[in-house]
Structures are given as structure tokens and as C-alpha cells.
Amino acid sequence: MSKIISILEAKSLIEYKKAYSLMTSLHYCLFKYQNPLYYLNNSDYSTFLNFNNYNQINYNKIYDNNKKNNDNFIGYILILEHPTIYSIGCNTPSDQIQKLQSIISPEIIHFSDRGGMITCHAPGQKVVYFIINLIEFFSPFSADIKKFIIIIQSFFSLFLKNYCNIDTKQINNYPGLWIHNYNNFNYSEHFDNYKLNSNKNNNEKNQNDFISQNYKKILFLGLKVKNSITYHGISLNIHQQSHHFAKISHACGIKDCIITSIEEEIKYKSIYINNLNINQIFTHYIGNFIHYYDDYIKYSNKIF
């Protein structure tokens, strides 16, 4: 029996607090209710938050097919953009919080229960929230949040490579996707991996310095798991966001972290970015997430 993920795409900017309310409500109903699709069909969230139902199958049809058994429904994916907001993860040191609060209005600062540190959301950045039952997602294998993170990052790395001709890298202990900063990069791949993965000879500051000097960040990841169900997710810079991130002293916990975007990266390749097309392609690509996972475990032994 194939697994079903319900995908919702916002038609307009959604305030962070409203999106968080929807995300946590969907998380609760996925954990609590026998048929979470019924809850969504009978709530006013879709209208209130102005979401499009992006399922290729109508909600009611899915619900009808699953009245007797909805074990194949494993969660939701939300695709949206936020008005400018600075999100503070639960691992952020107090001095970095205080510095941000000294220059940013409190109205656009939000303390989040996700992992990670300070990041920024703004128009031109796609945010994707994953409310996924990990046990059902990985079934019949064992659920593992680290594996889930690898899958998510690999999924978006493939998007950037196939549709934008952008090569990205996953780095141990540094969530998200990174791009070589070739203006500064002077190391071989072998030495690169040694620097990033050797804990004996490199402390955290040295590794952070190496990252900030040699890499740019394009995709950000912060997840939380409760009752084996994920929430929060990733953000991907479509258009330039560096002016927002410049106000964060340690973006993602790294001093002088260089932030980039699809727009900035492809201009070096003389590729024109069509905003409408990239949004349509991105949303359509998200619709293949569960199929990507199925193919990943069939053809790869990286995580199992």
C-alpha cells in the first residue's frame, strides 16, 4: 500500500505565528486522531491561512478511500513564505540573542522550539515544514531522525543540481546545504574532509572558521521530533537574503557565515531565473518527496 503525504501550498505570505499554529495543530491531530485527514477537511485552517490543496487527489477522495484504514497516511508538508521574521532556535547562546535584540524590533523576533540557532525568514525564501510520522515513513525499517535529515538534504541537493545546475555539499555536524566558495577555496577535497571530520585536531572554533572562509550556505534545516512525528523543516533562499542575515552575528551559529541564494549562484552561470517557473517547479518537485524516498532505499545503501 503506497504512503500518502498531504501537501499544502500557501497562496500568499503567511505570518510565522499562524504557520506555527497550523503546524503544531497538524502535528497534534496526526498523533491523536484516527483519521487526521478528516480533521483537516473539517477545520477552517485551509481557508484561514489561504492555502491551496496541492494534492493531485481531492481531499475528500483520499478520506473516502481511507475511512476503514488510513495507515498509509503519514503526514503533511507545508510550502510557504513568511514576512520578515528572525527565528531563534533553542540552541542559541544568550549573548547572540541579546545582540540581535539590540538591533531588531521585538515584533519580528520569534523564539522557536526547533533545533539550531538564529535564522531569518523573508519573502523570496521558500520554507517547507515536514509534519511526518517517522515510524510510518520508514516502515518496515526502523525510524531514525538522522536518516530523515540525510534524505531531506539529499532531496533538495538533487533539486538544486538538476534544475539550477548548483552543486551542494552536506557537512557532518553542520545541517543544511553548503556551496564551495571558490573565491577563497584553496584546499583539496581530501584535506577538506579531514578538516571537517577530524575531532582530535580541530576544535569547534577552527571548524567554524574553516566553514565561514570556504563555504556559503543556501539551505537551512531545523527539525524537532515529538511522539515520533517531525515538525519544522527547511528554508531555501530563492532570491538574495544576505541583507537580512547580515544582522545576525552568528547565522546558524557560525560567525561571518556567508549566505547565498539560487538567484546569486546562477547569475554566475549566466542562467536566467524565472520567478514563476522556479516556484512551479519547486512545488511540483516537493510532490515527489515520498517517491524519492522509495527510490532512495531501493537503489542506495547509504542509510540502511
Do residues 14 and 67 touch, judged by C-beta distance below 8 A?
A: no
State the catalytic residue, choosing from 29, 164, 252, 257.
252
- Closest Cα to residue 173, out of 195, 190, 158, 155? 195
Within a 10 A sphere around the Cβ of 210, how many other Cβ atoms?
Answer: 16
252 is catalytic: yes
Sheet of 85-88: strands edge to edge? 109-111, 85-88, 118-121
Cell numbers of 103, please? 538591533
Angle at 73 between CA 153 and CA 31, to 5 degrees: 85
Beta strands in the chain (DSSP E): 4-10, 51-53, 73-80, 85-88, 109-111, 118-121, 125-132, 169-171, 174-180, 215-226, 229-237, 258-259
E-assigned strand segments in 167-295: 169-171, 174-180, 215-226, 229-237, 258-259
Percentages of the chain per state (helix, strand, coil), in multiples of 5: 40, 25, 35
CB 6 within 8 A of CB 62: yes
Q: How are beta strands 174-180 and 215-226 bridged, if at all?
A: antiparallel
CA–chain centroid gap for 301, Å, is 23
Return the amino acid letter for 162: N
As a whole number of angstroms, the distance between CA 151 and CA 146 comes to 9
> Residue 140 — φ and ψ, nearest 5°?
-95, 10
CB atoms within 10 A of CB 279: 15
For the annotated catalytic residues, the residue numbers are 252
